[in-house]
Amino acid sequence: MSFLRSCGSWAVQRATVNKLPMNLRGERRLSLPTTDATELRVFRRMCIACGRNHNSMSVLPKRYFSSSQSHMISTRKPYLIVVKEKESPKEDGAMAQLKQVLDVRLEQLLEESLKHGEPGRFYRYPKPLRTVNRPSRQKGHQPHSKRKPGFLEPKNQTDNKSSSHASTQPKRKFKAKELSLKSVQSSNVAQMQKEDVASLPEGGMPKERIAPVKDRTLSSSEVGGMEINKSRLKSYRTRGETEHSRMILKSQKVDQSEKVDPDIKDDKLVIARTDPKTPEKPDKKHMYHIMRDKSIYLEPLIEVCMFKNMTKRALSEFNSLKSKMPIDVGIYNMMLKGLAQKGALGNIRTLFDSMAASGINPDAQSYAAVLQCIGRMKFRHLQTITKCLSDMALHDITIDDLFLKTTFSNDDRSVMLEVIQGVNPDYIPPRPLPRPHATCGLVQDLYQDEAELSDGQNDESAVGHGSLGCSGLLTKEEFQDKFKEQLDLEIKEAAVIKSIEEDGNPDKNTLQKREILQQHKKVWKMSLVQAIKEEREAFKRKGRGISGPDQRSYAGMLYPFLNILKPEEFADLMLQAVADTLACSTEGLGSYSLSHELGNRVHRKLIIRSKLQKGFAEKLEQMYDAFADYHLSEEMMQRYKPREYWQQLEDELLDGPSLNHETKPWKTLTNASLGIVLVKMIARELRLDTAIMNPQAERKLIPAFYNVYIFKGTKNVNYIKPHPTLVDLIEGAKEPDMTFDTTVLPMLVPPLPWNSCKYGGYLLTETRIARCPEGSQQDQELSDPSRLKDWYPVMDSLNQLSAVPWRVNKPILDVIISVFKNNGSKELNIPQPASVLPQPPSITSETSKADAAHVYRERSLYQKLRGEMHSLRMTDLYKLSIANKYRDEIFWFPYNLDFRGRVYPCPPHFNHLGNDVTRSILVFAKGRPLGDKGLDWLKIHLINLTGFLKKSSNQDRLKYAEEKMPLILDSADNPLEGQKWWQGADKQWQSLACCMEIANAMRSDNPAEFISYFPIHQDGSCNGLQHYAALGRDKIGAEQVNLHPFDVPQDVYIGVADLVEQQRAQDAEDGLEIAQLLEGKVERKVVKQTVMTIVYGVTVYGAKLQILKQLREKEGLDRFQKSLASKYLANAVFNSLLKMFTKTREIQSWLTDSAYYIAKAGHCVDWVTPLGFPVAQPYFKQRYGKYDDVGRSNVQIDTLKQKNGFAPNFIHSLDSTHMMLTSLYCQQAGITYVSVHDCFWTHASTVDEMNQICREQFVKLHGQPVLQNLSSFLDNKYGDITISKSVKKKPQNAEIQTIGDIVKQVPKPGEFDLTNVLQSTYFFS
C-alpha cells in the first residue's frame, strides 16, 4: 500500500494505514480529509489502471458527477478508501514489486498528461488510459448528449477539422494541484522492467505501457516548447506558498538528454501550476464583490472596449447585464457614441428598442449619436433621418438641443450638422447660451457685466503694477513653443530628470551596481512582457468559455483592461511603480494600496490616449494659441478672469471636440481589480540573483519582493516589501536618471483655468478640483452642473494662483546642492546619507544574553534610523533634481483643493508649500521695483525669518536689521565660509536668500528702482484662534491674537504661559508638591504646541503628551514627576485658555456636540463655506470584506472622528475662504499674490496694499452671520431627526429630543468690535 504516498497533497504514509485496525470483513477503513472529488477521481483512475480496484480497493462514493456530466457534485463529507486485506498483512516479494510498479505508473500518468495537455496539469475529464491514441470521433457524434461545453472549450469543438489532435483534447480541466512524486532512479526502473513486470497479476497493466522514466528536465515536446527551470522550485514546496511555487518557463528549446539541476537532490519534485496563461485566482472575497455588483465594471469596461475597438465585446457584456442591473441613459449613450463611430445603425436601433422596453427616455446625446451614425454611413436614408427628428419631437427635444446640450468628439459636430442640413438646408446652429454669473453675495462686486465695468478699472493707473501675466517674460513664439513642449511631455506621460548626485565620475563600486541593476531591469522587463502576453491570452480564452459565473466574469471583464497598453508599456509602468513606491525603502507598501496605484496609472494613460484619439490635442492647440494673448496682456488679465476668457474662446471655437467632455473616474474596486493582476505579476516574475553582492556565494534566484502581514489595529494587512538586497543595490547604484510622471512636475505654460469641477489644470492629464473620495457625497455635489455658478469664486481663486509664474533662485540652489553633495548637514537641515551612521555592534559567541538583547535593540534602532534617513535623503534629492532641471525655465503650478476647501499645488515634491529649503529656492518670475518702502519690508521680513525679535515692533526690527547689516552682507557673500550669521535663524535658507536679495538691492545704483523678485510673507498670528475670536467676538481672546491694534505684537503663547505660571504659583503656595517642583520651568515653548493645536481639537491627553515631550529636556525631575507635571500643566493650559477665550470654548463645544448627534444618527457632517464650496467630512469605519455600490469598502460613520474633526475642519474652511477672498481682490488690484494657507506672499512694493485687502476681506467675511448660517443649514438638513434614547447625552443636553434642538443653540457673541482689525498692524505681519 505504498502507493498511498502518491495520492496527492492528502496522501497518507503506508505506515499509517497499516496501523489501522482490521474489521471482521478483513478491511481497513481510511478516512481522507478532503472534499475534492477531482483528486479522488484521479486516484481511482490510477488504481483502475493497475487492476486493483475490483478485488482490493474501492473508493466511495464511486459516482462523482451529475447526470449532465458537466459539473462536479459538491460534498462536505470525507471520502472513504476501503482496503480489503484478503491475505496476511505481511508483505511478500510480489507485493513489493507491485508497489514499485504503481509508483512508476503514477509518474507515467504525469508524462502522459504533459504530452497531450498542458505542462503540470491533470484534467477534470482524464483520457481513458487504454484509449490515448483512439481515432477522432466523427462530426456530430455526442457521447454525452447532455454535456455542456467546457470552460476553455468552444461550443462546437468537434467541428474543428483544422487540428487532428482536437478530438483527443480534454473537454474540461480542473485546477492544478501540487503532486508530490516519488523520485525513481532509472536503474531501479530498469530492474523493475526486467524482473517485476512478468509477475503482474491478471488484469494488471500491460507490459508495453511501461516506459523508463529518466531523472531529467522535461523535453520541449512534452512541455510545448518550454523548459521547466527546476532551480526556481527548490525552496518553494508548501501549499501555503503558492505565490512563489510557479515555475519559470523558458522559451528556448532544450535537448532531451539534458539533466536536472544537480543541486536538486530532494526526493520530491513539486509540480505546481505551470501554465502561465491561466490567470491567478482572485481572492474569494474580492471575487464575491465583483459578482455582486457588476455595475462597478460596466462603465469602465465600455470605455475601454470602445477605445480598443472591441465593440462586439462591449455589446456582449452590456446585453448580459442590462436585465440584471439598473442602467441609466448615460451608459446607453456611451454605447451609442461608440457604435456611431462605426456606423452600426442596426445595433443602435436595437439599443433604442431596449431603452423603450426598459422605460428609459433617450436624451439629446442619444439622438445626436443616431444622426452622427447616419452621417458616417455610405448611404444616408432620408426616411431614417426624418423618423429620428420626429421621435425627438415626441420627447420634447429640439434640434438646437443637439448642439447646446451634447458633447462631441473629433468631427461629430460637423457630421451631424451636415446630416441635418441635408434635410433642412436653411438650418443654422445656435450660439452657446450666456454663461451664468456667480451668486455669492461676498463677491458680487467682482462679477459684473463687461459693460458695467468702471473706466477706472481699465486705465493705466489701475493696471500700472505690471506684475500680472507673462508680458515681458515670453514672446508669442516662445509661448507657443513651450505649449508644444508641455503637450509632448504629457503625451509621453513621463519626463527623465538627471540626478544632482551624478557628477560624471562615479566610482567603480557604483558603476558595478549600476550594471547589475540594469541587467536585472532588462530581464525583469522581458519577464513582465512575456507574462502580460500570456496572462492576456489566458483571460481571453477564459472569457470565451462557459463556466462558473465567477471565473467567466472575472476573466471576461478584465481582459479588455489588459489591452489598454502594449505589453512593453505595461512592463515599463510596473517597473516605474516599483521604483517610485516599493524599492526606495524596506518599509514596503500595502498590497491594496499598490494595486490601486497601478490601476490609477493605467487609467491616467487611458484618459490621455482617449483624448488624443478624439482630437483633443489639435483643438487644445488652437484654443491655447488664442489664450496666450490673454496671458501676454496685463490689461486683459485684469479685465477678465482666466475662466471667463477661456469660456469666451470655447463659445467662439465650436468646431471639433468638446474640451469639457467629462471623464468619469473608475471606482476604487475597478482600479484595484486591474492592479492586483499586475501586483501578482510583480511578485511572481521579479527575481534577484543572490550572488550580486557576494560573488563567492551560491547563485540562486530569489523573489525581489515578498508578502508580509502586519497588524494594523485589529486587522491583518498584506504588505509587499522589497528584499533588503534590492534596496541596497538601488541605494548603491545611485542611478543618474530619474523618471517622473508629468503630474508631479510644474508646467511650462499657465495651467488650463478651472471652468468646471472636472476640467482644469494640466493640458491632457485628468485633474480633479477637489481631493475627495470618489463617489462620496461631496464628489456627487461637485458633479452637479446646475450648481456650477455657485463655485465660480472658488474656481477663479484657484485660477488666479495658477496664473502666477515662478522661477528658481539659482544662487541659493547652487549653495544647497553643494551642501547636499557634501554628505548633507544636520545643522543646516540638509539630510545626510544613511552611510554616515556608525555601524551597530555585532553579536559574537562571547556575548551574554543581556548584552545580546541590548545589541539587538541597537541594531533595530539602526535599521529604523537608516530607513528614515534614506527616505529624507530621497525626498530632498527629488525636489533638488527637479529644481535643477527647471533652473533656466519659467514655470507654473496648477492647484486644487482638499475636502475642506484648503488650496494645494498639484505637484507634490517641488512647490512653495514645502519646507524651508524648498521655499528658499522659489521666487516670482516677474519682478517689480522696490519703490519707497520695498527695501524696508525686505529688512523686516529678514528679521521675521530669523525669529530674533518676535515681541518687538516693526520699527525695532528695522533698526536691528540696520545694526546687523555687516553680518547680513557677509552672509550673502560667504554663506559657507564667513561668519555664518544666517545659520542661527529659525528659517535658515530663507534667511540666506533674503540676505542675498538685500545685498543686491543695497549695492544697486538706486535701491528704489531695483527689480525684486523676492516674495515677502505676511503670516497670521495664530490664525485659527483669530477666526474663533472673530466668530465669538471674544474681546480678551481677540487682543491676544492681534485683532485689536497695539504698538507691539501680542504673543498669545506668552499670555497663556503667564496665566499658567500664576496658577502654578498659587498652587505652590497652597502646598501642592508638583506645582513647587515646576518653579521656573513654565516657559513659552512648553505651552506653545498645545495652544496652537487647541484650535484643532486636541484633547487633554494629547496636550499631556505634547507637554511631556517638552519637559524631557528639563532637569531636576525624574520620569514619574515629569508625567505628573505634564498632566498638571495640560489642565492648567486648558483652564487658562478657557479664561482667555471663553467664547472660543463655547463655539467648540457647540460644534462638537452638533457633530456628535449628527454622526450618531448615521450621517456625515457637512456644510457650505461662505464662498459656496460644499464640504463633507469623509470619516468612516471600514467593515472588512464589504463593498458599497461605488466600489468602496462598505462603511459606517466614524462618530469619534466626525465629532472631533468638525471644529478644526470648519475653521480650516473659514481660513481658506479668507485666503480666496484676498486672492480675488488682489487680482482686481493688479497685485501678484500667492499663499501658504494663512501666510500670504507678494512683492515687497505691494505689501501695504495686500495687507489692506487682507484685513478688509477678514472683516467682510466675519461680518456675515457665519454661525447662524451654519445653524440654519444643519437645522434644515438634520433638524427633524430624533435622537435615539441609546445615545449618551451631556447633563446640559438632557432635555433635547431632536438634532434641531442642539444645532439651534448658537453661542451668543461677545462685545469685540471687529472693525478694529482694519487698524491692527500685527494681525498679519
> Helices (DSSP H) in 256-358: which residue ranges?
284-292, 295-307, 311-321, 329-342, 345-358
Q: What is the pTM of this model?
A: 0.76
What was the pLDDT predicted at 172? Answer: 39
pLDDT of residue 87: 39
Give 356-360's long-range contacts (Cβ < 8 A, gap of 24+).
Answer: 358/322, 358/327, 360/327, 360/328, 360/329, 360/332
Cell of 840: 551597530
CA distance 75 to 68: 17
Residue of 885, 1088, 1104, 1143 marked active site: 1088
355-358 contact pairs (CB < 8 A, 24+): 355/329, 358/322, 358/327
Q: What is the 3-state secondary structure (H, E, C) of 1004-1064?
A: CCCHHHCEECCCEEEEECCHHHHHHHHHHCCHHHHHHCCCCCCCCCCCHHHHHHHHHHHHH
406 phi, psi to nearest 5 deg: -130, 165
CA–CA gap between residue 1205 and residue 289 (Å, rounded): 31
Q: Cα 528 vs. chain centroid, distance in angstroms? A: 22
Within 8 A by CB and 6+ apart from 618, the residues are 656
The C-alpha cell of 770 is what?
A: 477637489
Nearest residue to 1288 via CA among 1202, 1207, 1209, 1199 = 1199
Residues of the chain with pLDDT under 70: 1-295, 448-467, 543-556, 583-585, 693-695, 697, 713, 1182-1195
The DSSP element (H or E) to which 808 belongs, if any, is strand 806-808
Which residues are CB-contacts of 1275 (< 8 A; sequence separation ≥ 6)?
1299, 1300, 1303, 1304
| Other Cβ atoms closer than 10 A to 1035 | 18
Per-residue pLDDT at 1266:
94
For 683-731, write each residue's pLDDT tens digit.
889 988 877 766 676 777 888 888 888 777 677 788 888 888 888 888 8
Give, as one character, the DSSP assignment of residue 59.
E
**Per-residue pLDDT, 168:** 38
What pLDDT was estimated at residue 282? 42
40, burial (CB in 10 Å: exposed 0-12, middle 13-18, buried 19+): buried
Q: Is the distance from CB of 1122 to CB of 1042 less than 8 angstroms?
A: no
Determine whether 1088 is an active site residue: yes
CA 253 vs CA 219, 438, 525: distances in Å: 8, 71, 21
The rounded Cα 430 to chain-centroid distance in angstroms is 43
For 79, the enclosing helix (H) or strand (E) is strand 79-84
- Going by C-alpha positions, the residue among 987, 912, 997, 877 that lies closest to residue 943 is 987
Q: Which helix (H) or strand (E) holds 1181?
A: strand 1180-1187
Cell of 488: 509632448
Amino acid occupying residue 175 = K
Sequence-ordered list of residues with C-beta below 8 angstroms from that of 1070, at least 6 positions apart, any chain: none
Nine cell digits for residue 552: 467567466
Q: How far apart are CA 759 and CA 767, in angstroms?
A: 7
Determine if residue 840 is left, alpha or beta; phi over 0 gives left, psi from -120 to 50 gives alpha, anything else beta: beta
Closest C-alpha to 678, from 604, 598, 591: 598
* Beta strand residue intervals within 541-648, DSSP E: 589-590
790 is catalytic: no
Q: What's residue 1202's pLDDT?
A: 92
* CA–centroid distance for 730 within its chain: 23
Q: What is the pLDDT of residue 806?
A: 96
786, 927 in Cβ contact below 8 A? Answer: no
Active-site residue among 779, 1051, 1238, 1275? Answer: 1238
In 3D space, the residue among 134, 109, 291 whose CA is nearest the CA of residue 205 turns out to be: 109
Please tell me which residue in 550, 936, 1019, 1301 is annotated as part of the active site: 1019
Least Cα distance to 673 among 351, 379, 287, 1041 occurs for: 287
Give, as one character, the DSSP assignment of residue 910.
S
Are 1219 and 1237 in contact by the 8 Å Cβ rule? The answer is yes
